Structure 1
Amino acid sequence: MATPLENHLIGLCDGAIDNKRKNPSTFLTNKIGGEPDRLPAVFLRYPSCSLCSSPLAHVVQVYCPLEASPYHRTVTVFACANSDCHGKCDSWKVLRSQCLESDIRSSTEGAWVEATAGQEVPMASTDWCDDADDWGVEEDSGETLTASQTPSTTATEAAPDVSCQLQSLSISTVEDPQVKGPIFQPFYISVVEESDFAWDSGMEHAQELLQEYEQREGATVAELGGCEGGEGERYEKTEARHGDAVFTDFMKKISLCPEQVLRYCRKGSPLFISKPPSDVKQIVPPCSHCGSSRTFEFQLMPALVSLLRIYDPNSELAVEFGTVLVYTCQSSCWISGSSSPMEEFAFVQADPDQKLFK
């Protein structure tokens, strides 16, 4: 469980991305679905499922530069949409890409197109890094400046608009015959601090969901949380149907914001949906490149599942999970000029109640 000192950031679905626009997002964009956006000089291919060899679908893209680091940093998560592969770690892939500001300038030199009058500016990203409290400053131009942008990336007098330059860096602009996986409808992700949520008059919906859960399980959260030392008869009466007290704690925690699709807290504590293996720390392998241990960075939440739908209404392809915990290299190792993303690790937990629907 998270400690009181940990400040988790919550990702929420914030409107559909208009696919009619040309290159509506960049690697600076936090988003669900769509196609991943590559960083300059980084060649990003769709990975394949280790279980069935099918090309994976892009699930989320998270722009998450680290404090005091000179690198732009984006993590992309992929998953297999075949039902036989649901809930299995081997059917997920996590790729981390980084680049310097100088890489952007050299890659976009001579390739940018000046924005026309009245052209809509792409939605800016949010800085997920530790202690980041600048969530965007609105200016008269309509652009949103993020904490990760420096004056050199936002000044207009000496250099072309970087947001316009970055529009040409989408993976879809790379002429590559690679096979792509299913494409989910894209949505922007907005970010809030978990501490912004409280049990007050504005949280009626969250309280209603918690009450529905308690009625369905036949006991209150307080009873479920305090049944360990009771007699066997009382335990049988108040135990949740899924038989997992960890799931009860999970539901209680997210009841403050049931709509959350992502939780971010690098080096923080993950929120397990079911009891993890006793050797979970040994299950997470060290970085395959530098050998450093991996640390928890963010996790995908159950509310995301209903948003992962492809455009074809006749297709039954989807991604099912309880929660997906993403672990990344603690030192975030990167060789300047590298053209390949670093592979990280995803620990997948299935929904404990999912077996009730099969």
Structure 2
Amino acid sequence: MAPQDDEDWSDSDEEVGSEAETSVLLGVPDGSITSVTELADAAVSRIGGHPAFLPANEPPISSSQCKICSFPMELLVQMWCPFENSPMDRALYVWGCANPGCQRKDGSVRAWRGLRYNEKYAAKLEVKLSHKRQQEEARQRAAQQAEQAKQASKSNPFSLNPSPATHNPFGLGAQIFGDAPPTTGTDEAPPNQGLCLDSGNQDADDSDTESTTSNESLLTAMTKTTLEESPWKAAPAYSPLYLSTALEYLPPQPKSKIPPGAQVVSERGADEGGKDISWAFEPFENSLEVDQVFERFTKRVGYEGEQCIRYELNGTPLPFASDKIFQSLFPIPSTDPLPITKPDFKVVLPQKRVYAPASAFVSSCPSCNGKRVFECQLMPNLINVLRDVEKNSVKKLSDEERRAAIQKALKGDLEKGMEWGTCLIFSCENDCRVDSSGKEIKDVWREEVALVQWDLSLAS
């Protein structure tokens, strides 16, 4: 349950509304993984442990090497996150270096995505998309015929031979569905529905025989690629924990005191698909008095202190501090703000920052030249969880202990190990699977962009 907002600017003690669900998925730790089978299954999302790879050919151990010290890094998280309506199985892997000498340096956190072509699901997906295309074509033909009948009736209202559709209001139904393929009315939900931090999302979303068989073959493939002689077995690793999904909820916004006669106009709607997403478009004021970015970060994270991952594909990241990364992702508007004038006073609105990452800062995909979009970010509590796992002292913290631990991580007050505030992962929006010659391939192993915000210092 999210805590109540301490800031109360309402003119009434009555609560307004209820908690609002956002479009962000939170990844939280959910106990140790002890099953050898699940450790070898790439569809089981995890914190720590050794990676379970999708590509048939095991990636080189150099993928996990720190670019500073060149030693293999520990796996921080592995997430099962296929794109919707994609024939590719997909997982995201993030490694981080705990060497104190590598902190605050680019290359000590690296992210990769692994893809594998799922032939059985691809065939089923093609049938589904073909049905949708045929139905859309049938609707378009019906609309055209209806428009032609309408125009014909207008051209000669006294005609003795009007269109059959004008005599039979139900005749159009045969035209709509006559050429459409038979449907059962129960389209199966595809397994690829974006992030699924819980294990086995294909079983959860698609329980038919084909999906089960696909999962079994995937599991077999994972077992074959994790051989005992693999160098990955000797790589350093934290004890593995399950990574489960939790929806993010925000408390209701307090009522503000608005002058009589004033009108509030929102640039973006507060509701999209039944979810309150207005926070994502809330601009940042350009102020040097306090680090408003960090204040907003700590307030937002405080609603769910156990979060280790924030996932929102093609969404808006939650910046940690007013550093160079923030300046690049949320640039100052190029135009001066317009003043609001009244007969008795003049108010000048402060400059606002909105999410508009510079293409030069977040590089495009080198394989397809497509844009990279924000996918997820690692949160400070992940450092606490991994440190506790390393000490074999994972325990259930009280609310007070958890808040203290999070504040300690947010301030960078750590004895050793990783010191970042948040790690932002940007991935190819096309989820491309082409090689250097532009040919589509079935197995993909590609590095993505990891931007790390280290501390609270302002960008110079």
Identify unmatched segments of 5+ residues in structure 2: 1-19, 122-190, 253-282, 330-357, 393-414, 435-439
Aligned-residue sequence identity (percent) comes to 28
Give the structure 2 partner of residue 63 of structure 1: 80
Asked if 1:296 corresponds to 2:354, the answer is no
Identify unmatched segments of 5+ residues in structure 1: 105-125, 138-142, 200-224, 230-234, 354-358
Asked if 1:90 corresponds to 2:120, the answer is no
CA shift for structure 1 position 167? 5.4
Distance 2:91 2:299 in 1: 31
Amino acid corresponding to residue 242 of structure 2 in structure 1: Y
Amino acid corresponding to residue 27 of structure 2 in structure 1: G
- Secondary structure at 1:168 match in 2: helix
Question: Against the structure 1 CA distance between its residues 258 and 178, is the aligned structure 2 distance closer, same or farther, given a 3 Å change threshold?
Answer: closer
Question: Against the structure 1 CA distance between its residues 317 and 347, is the aligned structure 2 distance closer, same or farther, given a 3 Å change threshold?
Answer: same
- Secondary structure at 2:23 match in 1: coil
Question: Against the structure 1 CA distance between its residues 319 and 227, is the aligned structure 2 distance closer, same or farther, given a 3 Å change threshold?
Answer: closer
Distance 1:160 1:322 in 2: 36
CA shift for structure 1 position 165? 2.6
Asked if 1:244 corresponds to 2:291, the answer is yes
Give the structure 2 partner of residue 129 of structure 1: 194
Question: Against the structure 1 CA distance between its residues 40 and 151, is the aligned structure 2 distance closer, same or farther, given a 3 Å change threshold?
Answer: farther
Give the structure 2 partner of residue 266 of structure 1: 313
* TM-score normalised by structure 2 residue count: 0.53
Question: Against the structure 1 CA distance between its residues 151 and 192, is the aligned structure 2 distance closer, same or farther, given a 3 Å change threshold?
Answer: farther
Question: Against the structure 1 CA distance between its residues 273 and 190, is the aligned structure 2 distance closer, same or farther, given a 3 Å change threshold?
Answer: same
Give the structure 2 partner of residue 53 of structure 1: 70
Amino acid corresponding to residue 145 of structure 1 in structure 2: D
Amino acid corresponding to residue 328 of structure 1 in structure 2: S
CA shift for structure 1 position 48? 1.3
C-alpha offsets along residues 209-232 of structure 1, whole Å, 9 cap, x if unaligned?
xxxxxxxxxxxxxxxx99988xxx
Distance 1:334 1:144 in 2: 21
- Among 205, 220, 224, the residue aligned to 1:165: 220
- Secondary structure at 1:283 match in 2: coil
Asked if 1:15 corresponds to 2:31, the answer is yes
- Secondary structure at 1:251 match in 2: helix
Report if the CA contact (8 A) 1:31-1:188 is conserved: yes
Distance 1:7 1:344 in 2: 23
Distance 1:290 1:51 in 2: 28
Amino acid corresponding to residue 291 of structure 1 in structure 2: N
Distance 1:54 1:339 in 2: 26
Distance 1:226 1:175 in 2: 52
Give the structure 1 partner of residue 365 of structure 2: 287
Match runs of 1:151-300 below 5 Å? 151-154=209-212, 161-162=216-217, 165=220, 168-169=223-224, 172-173=226-227, 175-177=229-231, 180-195=234-249, 198=251, 243-277=290-324, 278-280=327-329, 281=358, 282-300=360-378
Report if the CA contact (8 A) 1:9-1:128 is conserved: no
Report if the CA contact (8 A) 2:26-2:246 is conserved: yes
Amino acid corresponding to residue 259 of structure 1 in structure 2: E
Give the structure 1 partner of residue 347 of structure 2: none
Distance 1:97 1:58 in 2: 14
Moved more, 57-66 or 318-327: 318-327
Amino acid corresponding to residue 210 of structure 2 in structure 1: S
Distance 1:246 1:77 in 2: 25
Amino acid corresponding to residue 191 of structure 1 in structure 2: T
CA shift for structure 1 position 103? 8.8
Give the structure 1 partner of residue 50 of structure 2: 35
Give the structure 2 partner of residue 330 of structure 1: 429
C-alpha offsets along residues 34-70 of structure 1, whole Å, 9 cap, x if unaligned?
0010114142233211112111211100110011111
Report if the CA contact (8 A) 1:81-1:182 is conserved: no
- Secondary structure at 1:324 match in 2: strand
- Name the larger-Rg structure: 2
- Secondary structure at 1:263 match in 2: strand
* TM-score normalised by structure 1 residue count: 0.67
C-alpha offsets along residues 292-324 of structure 1, whole Å, 9 cap, x if unaligned?
1100000011110012246577xx873331100
CA shift for structure 1 position 9? 0.6
- Among 315, 320, 341, the residue aligned to 2:445: 341
Distance 1:271 1:160 in 2: 34
Amino acid corresponding to residue 266 of structure 1 in structure 2: L
RMSD after superposition: 3.8
Matched positions, count: 279
CA shift for structure 1 position 164? 5.2
Amino acid corresponding to residue 81 of structure 1 in structure 2: A
Distance 1:52 1:135 in 2: 34
Amino acid corresponding to residue 172 of structure 1 in structure 2: T
- Among 35, 39, 43, the residue aligned to 1:24: 39
